[in-house]
Amino acid sequence: MSRLRPRERARLVLVASILVTGLLYAVPYGHVLAYPLLLLSTVAHELGHGVAALLTGGSFQRLEMWPDGSGVALTAVSDSRLSQAVVAAGGLLGPAVLAALGFACGRTPRGARHALTAFAVLLTLALILVVRNPFGWLFVGTIALLCWLIARRASAELAQLGLIFLAVQLALSVFSRGDYLFTPVARTATGTMPSDVGQIAQALLLPYWFWGALCGLASAAVLAYGLRTYWR
């Protein structure tokens, strides 16, 4: 692969990531191997809420996640309806934004190393500052360590493949978990609460399905931009 031009290598890495993903869902017990990838999208979703809260002048206080793939981010924002809606939408857009950044940085092995290192640092900060339950500590800590090891110890080609593989999983989660965009309630390990689109509807009026469709289109646009940046 090292003899290929950077653009050709990048395209081959993307194709390989998609093929590996397909195999995970085709081989026996592949869904067991894919389970951590589901949890990865949960982390991206909850971090999206937290980052949106910080960007709107609020605070990110707590992140919890559970083995069933559910999670919750506790934030504090102003009474502004717009701020509350932005924080709710941040979680819905989080996986798409992180995937697009992965594609943009993964065009070169060097960029992939930097991106994996940055992601490991982000997860470590989250682990220290906001993750507050044992399962969250275990999963977030494991992913942070793996990203750090791949970034610092693996070959350049493997680091690029690892980043793009993760980006592909986050991109797919936008669609595989897309039903969440069209439900007014969310069921977590701690009970039932208003969904993100339900919260947006309460803050800005209009039906929850309208905001679900809008967030879905925005996520698709972000992913398309990230893939276009990567492929060119």
pLDDT in tens, 67-93: 999 999 999 998 899 999 999 999 999
Asked if the structure places residue 28 within a domain, the reply is: yes
Asked if the structure places residue 201 within a domain, the reply is: yes
Asked if the structure places residue 69 within a domain, the reply is: yes
What is the pLDDT, as a whole number, of residue 2? 52
**Which residue type sits at 24?**
L
Given a cut of 90, is residue 221 above it in pLDDT?
yes
Is residue 205 very low, low, confident or very high in pLDDT (cuts 50, 70, 90)? confident
Given a cut of 70, is residue 51 above it in pLDDT?
yes
Are 15 and 112 a contacting pair, CB within 8 Å? no
What is the pLDDT, as a whole number, of residue 34? 81
What is the pLDDT, as a whole number, of residue 11? 78
Coil/strand/helix, residue 206: coil
Higher pLDDT, 142 or 22: 142
What is the pLDDT, as a whole number, of residue 175? 85
Phi and psi, residue 155, nearest 5°: -65, 165
Pull the structure tokens for residue 156.
Answer: 């350049």
Asked if the structure places residue 138 within a domain, the reply is: yes
Q: What is the mean pLDDT of residues 104-131?
A: 95
Percent with pLDDT over 70 in the chain: 97
Average pLDDT, the chain: 90
Query: Domain count of the chain?
Result: 1
Asked if the structure places residue 1 within a domain, the reply is: no
Q: Which of 31-35, 126-130, 227-231 has the lowest mean pLDDT?
A: 31-35
Coil/strand/helix, residue 74: strand
Which stretches of 67-207 are DSSP H helices? 81-105, 109-129, 134-153, 156-176, 196-204
Enclosing domain of residue 103: 6-177+184-231
